[in-house]
Each structure stands twice: as C-alpha cells, then as structure tokens.
Amino acid sequence: MISILAEQIGKSYQHIHALENVSFQVGKGELFGFIGPDGSGKTTLFRILTTLIVPDSGSVTVENLDVLKEYKKLRTMLGYMPGKFSLYPDLTVEENLEFYASIFDTTIQENYHLIRDIYVQIEPFKNRLAGKLSGGMKQKLALSCAMIHKPTVLVLDEPTTGVDAVSRVEFWEMLKKLKSEGVTIVVSTPYMEEAGLCDRVALMQFGKIMKIAPPQQVIDEYRRNLFSVKAENTYKLIEDLQRFPETGSAFPFGQSVHFTPKSPAFFPQMLIDFLLQNDHQNPDVHSIEPGIEDCFMELMTESPDAGDLSKI
C-alpha cells in the first residue's frame, strides 16, 4: 500500500536547483525520515507534498490524490507542521487547538484520543498564550493542532529543531504511537540519531536524494572499518591525520575523530606509531560501530559536489 508516490520532482528558484529528480515512495503507516543539511531541499519538498508550492516538473500523489489537481480534497487529509512555529501566539493553547479543530469541521472531544498523550502534557497550560510557551511545549501544541483532524498523512518539517533533548525523546515516542494508529508520517530532521528511529530514511543533499534505505541497512552497507581516534590536542590530530598516508577520511565527532583507512590492511598500531612520532600524548585508536552520521559523511564525500565544503 503506497501512501506517497513522488516521481522525478524538480523545483528551481532562479538559478538554484532546490530539487532535482527526486523520486521516492512512502508506504501507508510508514515513518519515513528525510535527513540532510540545511539547504538540501527538505522544506521545498515538504511544501510540494503539502500542496503549498507547485513543482516545476514531476508528479506527486498523496493517498492517490494528485497534489496539483486534487489539492482541495487532499488538504482535508493532511496534517502539516511547518519548520517555523506557525500557530497564533496571541491565542491560548486551547483556543489554537479549538480553532484548528473547528476549521476541519471537528471538535477536540471527537479526536481527543489521538492527541491525549501529547496534550495532557500541555493541558495544565491551556489558558496560556501559545507565544509564551517553551520551545518543547510549542512543538507539542503544534503536533496536537496538526493531528486534531485525524489526518491520514502527517508531514513534519524539523519538528525537534531547537527542542531540548528530553522533549525530543518524548516527541519521537509520540510519533511512534501515531504510527501504530496507522498514520503515515514523513519527518525531516537534522539530528542523525533521530534518523535511526525511522522505518526508512532518505539521505538528501543539494536537492537530490542520495540513498533511501532502512537506517540499519544504511549502516550495514557501510563498507569500511571505522575507528575512533583520540589524542590530547584534537586540532593538531586532525592536521596530522591529513598527512597520514593511510587516511581515507577523518571527521571530528565531538571529542574524538572518526577515521577510516584506505586499505583493509590497516591496523590501529600503525596509526598509534605515527601519532607518537608526531609528538602526540596518549593516542588512542579503537574500532567502533558506524552510526548513521558516519554513513552520511561518507555519502557526502562521494557525491560530486562535495568538494566544496562551504556549501554544507
């Protein structure tokens, strides 16, 4: 059962190709994630899915409805949460929710069961103006408003950006629960660890989809050995790694550097020796499991545009 079918979508703004030949499908009840850096075209893609902008080329159907021709019917079935908080800051929590329920010709009571788990957390503040809520509560309210009319497809543009870690975890729990109700969810996120919570992810860059696969498969297909390298002077470490003849790639990940060797014949002692020769204190090199972020970094390096890192 297919919920969203996109074929060869293209969209340009003047000279910038926001989307190029984007094709994908999302099954009914699937939790589908889009991952990519800022400016990779996620928001443009979501606006096309939600009938807000018209693509230059290609076709999109959502729940078998064409986004261009049958947008009126489609709008009754869509739940959309834009990247920017877009509820009325001068209405209270309850008034916002009531308004969105009423324009979809329903009531809060009718679909309360859908939003209960989220809404109970903000209900104590139901008389507070939406503009005065904290970031996490705003997002919970926005999700409630997007859900109140029982949409069959939910499109969430970076719902957890700017939200604290605890609220983010709670937010994803809610998405899982909604998914179990049979709602198709399309979500974008800049956080790699959230990608692992999706059924499938699409990695996007420069307006193109580079890979679509379940997160575990993305990781499994990671072809290289991955090592975490630590030394006391991280900055010098990166510089030295670039001179190391065996270096395939080296990306800083917080305190450590994720390192991949060029040949399978590499073993950690080679690098430790090299680092000791270069005056590093207590270098540590050990093999680690790749995460989705490593895969993304690798895909980015392979893409032809990746030479110019300033674009990221």
Contacts with another protein, residue ranges (CB under 8 A): 47, 50-54, 72, 75-76, 78, 80, 82, 84-91, 95, 99-100, 102-105, 145
Compute CA distances 110 → 21, 107, 113, 147, 203, whole Å.
41, 5, 8, 12, 37
Distance CA(245)–CA(261), nearest Å, equals 9
Q: For residues 86 and 180, which CB has a smaller minimum distance to another protein in the complex? A: 86
CB of 25 to another protein, least distance (A): 21
CB of 200 to another protein, least distance (A): 24
CB of 72 to another protein, least distance (A): 7
CB of 128 to another protein, least distance (A): 13
Q: For residues 100 and 259, which CB has a smaller minimum distance to another protein in the complex? A: 100
The backbone region for 150, taken as left when phi is positive above 0, alpha when psi lies in -120 to 50, beta otherwise, is left
Q: For residues 141 and 241, which CB has a smaller minimum distance to another protein in the complex? A: 141
Q: For residues 51 and 160, which CB has a smaller minimum distance to another protein in the complex? A: 51
184: nearest Cα among 53, 7, 49: 49
Distance CA(124)–CA(60), nearest Å, equals 41
CB of 101 to another protein, least distance (A): 9
**How does DSSP classify residue 92?**
B
Distance CA(59)–CA(29), nearest Å, equals 21
Q: For residues 114 and 231, which CB has a smaller minimum distance to another protein in the complex? A: 114
Pair type for strands 78-81 and 227-230: unpaired
